[in-house]
Amino acid sequence: MIRFSLNGALVDVDAPPTERLSETLRERLGKVGTKVGCDAGDCGACTVLLDGAAVCACLTPAARVEGRMVTTIEGETPELSRLRESFHAHGAAQCGICTPGMLLTAADLLTRSARPSEPEVEQALGGVLCRCTGYRSIIAAVVAAGLGAVMPELPKGGVGTSVRRLDGAAKVAGDSFGADERPEGALVVTAVRSPYPHAAFVIGDLSAFRARPEVSAVFTAADIPGRNAFSVIPPFADQPAIAASPARFRGECVALVAFEPGADPDLTGFPIAWTPLDPLVTPQAAEAGPLLHPNRPGNLLVEGRVVKGDVASALASSAHVVEGRMTTAFVEHAYIEPEAGAAWLDGETLVIRACTQAPGMDREDTAAILGLPIGRVRIIPSATGGGFGSKLDISLQPLIGLVTLKTGRPCRMVYTRGESMTSTTKRHPAEMQGRIGCDAQGRITAVEFEGRFNTGAYSSWGPTVANRVPVHVSGPYLTPAITARARAIHTHGPVSGAFRGFGVPQGAIWQETLYDRLADKAGIDRLEFRLRNALRDGDPSATGQVLRAVGIHDCLMALKPHWTRALAQASGGKGRGVGVASCWYGCGNTALPNPSTIRIGLSPEGEVVLHQGATDIGQGSNTVIAQIAAEALGLPLTAFRLVGPDTALTPDAGKTSASRQTYVTGRAAKAAAEGLRAEILRRANAGMGATLALDGSALTVRDRETLARIDLAALPVDAHGHALTAEASYDPPTSPLDADGQGAPYAVYGYGAQMVELEVDAALGTVRLVKITAAHDVGRAINPMLAQGQIEGGIAQGIGMALMEEYLPGRTENLHDYLIPTFGDVPPIESLLIEVPDPEGPFGAKGLGEHVLIPTAPAILNAIRHATGAEITRVPALPHRIREALP
Amino acid sequence: MPDYARPQTLTEALRLLAGGEARLLAGGTDLYPGAGARLAGPVIDLATVAGLAGVQSGPGLRIGAATTWTMLAEASLPPALRALQQAAKQVGGRQVQNTGTIGGNICNASPAADGVPPLLALGAKVELASTSGTRRLALMDFLRGPRRTALGQGEVLTAILIPDSGLQGRSAFVKLGARSHLVISIVMVAARLVVRAGRVTEAAVAVGSCAPVAVRLPAVEAALRDAPVSEVADRIRAEDVTAALAPIDDVRATAAYRREAAVELVRRAVAEAVA
């Protein structure tokens, strides 16, 4: 028995002495606020205070806390209270998975140094990774907490105000993520995974393994009752939930073992014999190699193309032409929450609570794999500790669903960091080449682009990437002639899927770095060159779509004074460089239906109940959708109660991807709220300008001199339990692309441009980022603080892609060999929110989530070239690659 | 021996260790990564062994093997140990620094162990105890290769001993990685220089992450002797540095880059040590 003080109370716990303290706290004491991100001391998520000092609970033997004081996020200290408030006020918690560890580490700092400076905060918190915020808001929050600065009283308004995140209080208390749902008596599910990128296997006689007392059940591909093939795009369904031989990538699930609760999930002795086969590693080899999928010749999944005008003659007659190549790596999403969830039966209904970005798709795929009618599957998303695209695809949902369905018992599954990294999707590595030309005045004449994308073993979002890249690779610039082709090629690599930008960031690295060379050739300032070519209202895009509400010119103009200042400063400093790059990005599915539905009701008690099905993975939809609804309805946000997401309680608001929630679900929310308002006004016989107010169940409607009262408690209750309900859907008006990629694939585009100032240490090839200035046209900033949070977080991921992130299967499957930016790697960021309202967006709003990552990497490469002349053609630009590229 | 033991004295720990194969648990920051829900036994936990942690002076300096990085970083130590203190602040994050120990870092024998180059530059020895007595070994001889040491069966590394000669002068540590925190180095250098009347009288320079174990650079040290302080960086010849190294290509960098960077970092470290 180990006795210690836990958050001020004495506890006794019977735990093995060398059990990880994180395990003891979570599994034996139910303190699930302590999050586990890596079990290796690489991420700091599990930080607790041991006698006041920050330690990783995952590295601490339980026996070591005997007689000592442990403080977890469930505890309270004066420092923790101040920090919680400050984090909440600064938007310093996005998804919330790193927040407990961040808060406790900061609390340790505040007890040692009451008023820490920014560098002190950075140094002290450097052991905790965050993948969402870009760290700047966290630094600000800790400094402010130290100063005891009175938090600004934030306005309680609708659109345009920086209200605090509605789910923020839960985030700073230790939110409930996929691993935190622990049904009584739940089996613990573990996957057997392929150690090879390509291998045949035979599973031997399972009877002895099944007979182990700790083993409840074993399942293989043969046990899948439905269709053992899924894809986020149903016509491409090719990926098995549990693979039959052969395994097509390292980390692929080939069997499941369900262990009794409390048992050591030991797979030693599982009877499986592997025969490694030659893997196709590169797209080049795969194009000429044996087929992964028999119906895909040349291992080609999809080829996307956009063709307009006569590129050959346009280039031939151009005053200046540049040609270039760019290669990018697999990039891992590296959210701090490894995939996790639980399943149980509620009568006939299979209930799955897990991290996700797409509950509706989870439900459809899980039902199909398990052979269930869709009505028998209910998905309740847990808080999701970062997604960035990878949690759009199902991971463990069908696995835990299968175990519960077959055994009738609840079960849980938590991926290890290694499993999360090997088995889930990646950003596509790209090999890109082509030419861009301009005339003597620097006006773009033509773009010729050829991209080969390593799409890995299965389809996932490969088709989307192949289609999005050619549409966007012109950048937000008027391009009279273009030939752009992107091919997604299968290999035995990890499955490449969605990652913030769907291939557009890779294309932008190629295009924006060539633009700098072209501007230099034309003898035009690089920002001026972009301004000269920036799309304007009424201009046609590469796909021939006539654009409106085009904000790129405004973004570049907003950077101009900064550019002038930065260039002047750089000219004085050794190794100083300045770079700029732009982005544009179409919001929502590419030329496909993409509806969202929102329901809103007034309860008999006088609450506004928002059935909000847009999954908030940290980006802020819980808050932003509610702000839009509040503005449209004309009732304060404080009257709102959020329901969902839950496929049983919320209509389908689609997936959290493609920067679509603010725009698409926001439009649905606006329409639903307007519908509810219209119904209220009709009942009150009031005009459009009437003012609504709630006082308990009394809803008053004031219209000039008249005052009407609706007693909500007196109205009959509808099927949703509400006195009044409205529901509305919205689907973006788009048109299909023709064979040449011509059409109107998106109804709304967002725009942005970023400027990077940096210093290159030429002797070592290292880069120190000095400042990033980011101008993004968001149409209308529904919540400026959350928009800024998206910008800072996207930039951090762009920095990682540019300078350090390279996923190598078998080699960088942890968070110390796979490097993501830490506290010291993200410089101060100045965000400039540009508002060019889009007539299609709710209150003019456009999407932002992915845009923010796109310009960062090319702007960094352009600044490196400006500083040193080094032309980087392969990212990440690790120090040795920069050294090699120096002229 | 039981599956887990928390001895209170070194004698007890050594007796337990002599009784069979057991893993020694110090900070746990290298043993836990890769373990399952618990660390498989048998394990001897050194956390409560009296006298293993802390720094004592005279003669020389004795650093207890269980001294944590935070203790080292916050201790008041002579300028010769500045490199070690700088390294202590760059091992993992604060969490790891609060539990990870200098002795564990040495025994883990990673080619990229942050504590080793500063200790090599101090001329450190290790003290190894067993039931049959105590022996001392130069750190350089203790480290045999990646994950290999001269620690014998039944032995515990109890202390790191810095001779008086190692306490002379000032030192500096420079670590190169692809990000600012939580980074395994591509190259790191520790340099300690003793200066009298504006000239270097003694130099000790060590490089990590560029060979199976960190190495001293004898040719560099010889070249630095008698150098005026203003010229220390100029005395570093690339071939003097690279002759001692045997770097590899890995996910962090190429061997060729490591050689180049090591030369540059040696120049910076010696310049910083005399600055």
Q: How far apart are CA B187 and CA B207, in angstroms?
A: 7
User: How does the average pLDDT of chain A come out, rounded?
Assistant: 97
C-beta separation of A92 from A140 below 8 A = yes
Mutate to test the interface with B, among A48, A59, A135 (most CBs of B within 10 A): A59
Cα–Cα separations (whole angstroms), residue A132 to A97, A99, A420, A504: 10, 11, 17, 20
Picking from A629, A581, A876, the residue whose alpha carbon sits closest to that of residue A756 is A581
pLDDT in tens, A736-778: 999 999 999 999 999 999 999 999 999 999 999 999 999 999 9
Q: Which of A44, A59, A821 sits opposite B28 (nearest CB)?
A: A59
The pLDDT-based confidence of A401 (bands split at 50, 70, 90) is very high
Using CB atoms within 10 Å of the CB of residue A346, give its burial: 0 to 12 exposed, 13 to 18 middle, 19+ buried: exposed
- Does residue A147 have a pLDDT over 80? yes
- Does residue A705 have a pLDDT over 90? no
pLDDT average, residue stretch A544-557: 98
pLDDT in tens, B103-127: 999 999 999 999 999 999 999 999 9
Picking from B271, B247, B181, the residue whose alpha carbon sits closest to that of residue A880 is B247
Using CB atoms within 10 Å of the CB of residue B41, give its burial: 0 to 12 exposed, 13 to 18 middle, 19+ buried: middle
Looking at CA atoms only, how far is residue B196 from chain A in angstroms? Answer: 30
pLDDT in tens, B167-222: 999 999 999 999 999 999 999 999 999 999 999 999 999 999 999 999 999 999 99
Q: Which of A60, A124, A879 sits opposite B28 (nearest CB)?
A: A60
The dotted CATH code for A1-166 is 3.10.20.30
Return the amino acid letter for A254: V
C-beta separation of B126 from B144 below 8 A = no
The dotted CATH code for B50-165 is 3.30.465.10
| Residue A89 phi, psi dihedral angles, 5° rounding | -70, -30
Would the CB atoms of B33 and A53 count as touching at under 8 Å? no
Q: What's the pLDDT score for residue A150? A: 64
Which tokens hold the place of A305? 């193309």
Q: How far apart are CA A221 and CA A245, in angstroms?
A: 9
Can you say how many angstroms the Cα of residue B202 is from the centroid of all Cα atoms in its chain? 20
Beta strands in A676-723 (DSSP E): 691-695, 698-703, 706-711
The pLDDT-based confidence of A574 (bands split at 50, 70, 90) is confident
pLDDT in tens, A694-703: 999 999 999 9
Q: How far apart are CA B54 and CA B65, in angstroms?
A: 8
Instruction: Spell out which residues of chain A touch residue B110, defining contact as CB-CB under 8 Å.
Output: none
- Does residue A155 have a pLDDT over 70? no
Q: Which of A127, A765, A766 sits opposite B182 (nearest CB)?
A: A127
Instruction: Spell out which residues of chain A touch residue B93, defining contact as CB-CB under 8 Å.
Output: 44, 105, 125-128
Instruction: Spell out which residues of chain B touch residue A823, defining contact as CB-CB under 8 Å.
Output: 180-181
Picking from A823, A648, A732, A610, the residue whose alpha carbon sits closest to that of residue A158 is A610
CATH 3.40.50.2300 fits A184-279+339-414, yes or no: no
Return the amino acid letter for B122: L
Longest Cα pair distance anywhere in chain A, in angstroms? 83
- Does residue A602 have a pLDDT over 80? yes
Using CB atoms within 10 Å of the CB of residue A429, give its burial: 0 to 12 exposed, 13 to 18 middle, 19+ buried: buried
Looking at CA atoms only, how far is residue A804 from chain B in angstroms? Answer: 6
- Backbone dihedral region of A185: left (phi > 0), alpha (psi from -120 to 50 degrees) or beta? left
The pLDDT-based confidence of A154 (bands split at 50, 70, 90) is low
Q: How far apart are CA A177 and CA A171, in angstroms?
A: 10
pLDDT average, residue stretch A571-597: 94
Residue of B nearest to A884 (CA): B257
Q: Angle A552-572/A526-533 helices, nearest 10 degrees?
A: 170
Indicate the SS3 state at residue A508: helix
Would the CB atoms of A878 and B264 count as touching at under 8 Å? no
Residue of A nearest to B39 (CA): A18
Going from N- to C-terminal start, the domains of chain A cover 1-166, 184-279+339-414, 501-589+745-885, 596-730
Which tokens hold the place of A221? 């591909």
Q: How far apart are CA A368 and CA A348, in angstroms?
A: 16
Instruction: Spell out which residues of chain B touch residue A806, defining contact as CB-CB under 8 Å.
Output: 251
Would the CB atoms of B257 and A883 count as touching at under 8 Å? yes
Q: What's the pLDDT score for residue A153? A: 59
Bridge partners of A414, per DSSP, are: A340
Q: How far apart are CA A715 and CA A729, in angstroms?
A: 25
Mutate to test the interface with B, among A1, A13, A18 (most CBs of B within 10 A): A18
Name the pairing type of β-strands A272-276 and A596-602: unpaired
pLDDT average, residue stretch B119-142: 98
- Does residue A350 have a pLDDT over 80? yes
Q: What's the pLDDT score for residue A46? A: 98
Residue of B nearest to A267 (CA): B36
C-beta separation of A805 from A818 below 8 A = yes
Using CB atoms within 10 Å of the CB of residue A827, give its burial: 0 to 12 exposed, 13 to 18 middle, 19+ buried: middle
pLDDT in tens, A424-458: 999 999 999 999 999 999 999 999 999 999 999 99
Instruction: Spell out which residues of chain A touch residue B94, defining contact as CB-CB under 8 Å.
Output: 54, 105, 108, 124-127
Q: How far apart are CA A674 and CA A222, in angstroms?
A: 51
Q: Which of B95, B98, B251 sits opposite A817 (nearest CB)?
A: B251
- For domain A596-730, give its CATH number from 3.20.20.10, 3.40.50.2300, 3.30.2040.10, 3.30.365.10: 3.30.365.10
Instruction: Spell out which residues of chain A touch residue B180, defining contact as CB-CB under 8 Å.
Output: 126, 822-825
Would the CB atoms of B179 and A23 count as touching at under 8 Å? no
Q: B166-274: what fold?
A: Enolase-like; domain 1 (3.30.390)
| Residue A334 phi, psi dihedral angles, 5° rounding | 50, 35
Q: What's the pLDDT score for residue A573? A: 75
Q: What percent of chain B has pLDDT over 70?
A: 100
- Does residue A221 have a pLDDT over 90? yes
The dotted CATH code for A501-589+745-885 is 3.30.365.10
- Does residue A687 have a pLDDT over 90? yes
Picking from A869, A873, A874, A872, the residue whose alpha carbon sits closest to that of residue A762 is A869
The pLDDT-based confidence of B37 (bands split at 50, 70, 90) is confident
Q: How far apart are CA A306 and CA B113, in angstroms?
A: 52
pLDDT in tens, A86-136: 999 999 999 999 999 999 999 999 999 999 999 999 999 999 999 999 999
Residue of B nearest to A819 (CA): B179
Would the CB atoms of A16 and B6 count as touching at under 8 Å? no
Q: How far apart are CA A629 and CA A609, in angstroms?
A: 10
Q: Which of A41, A264, A880 sits opposite B29 (nearest CB)?
A: A41
Indicate the SS3 state at residue A541: coil
- What ipTM was assigned to the predicted interfaces of this complex? 0.97
Q: What percent of chain A has pLDDT over 70?
A: 99
C-beta separation of B194 from A887 below 8 A = no
Going from N- to C-terminal start, the domains of chain B cover 50-165, 166-274
Q: What's the pLDDT score for residue A156? A: 67
Four-residue CA torsion sign, B105, B107, B108, B111: positive
Say whether pTM exceeds 0.90: yes
A184-279+339-414 shares its CATH topology with A596-730? yes
pLDDT in tens, A293-333: 999 999 999 999 999 999 999 999 999 999 999 999 999 99
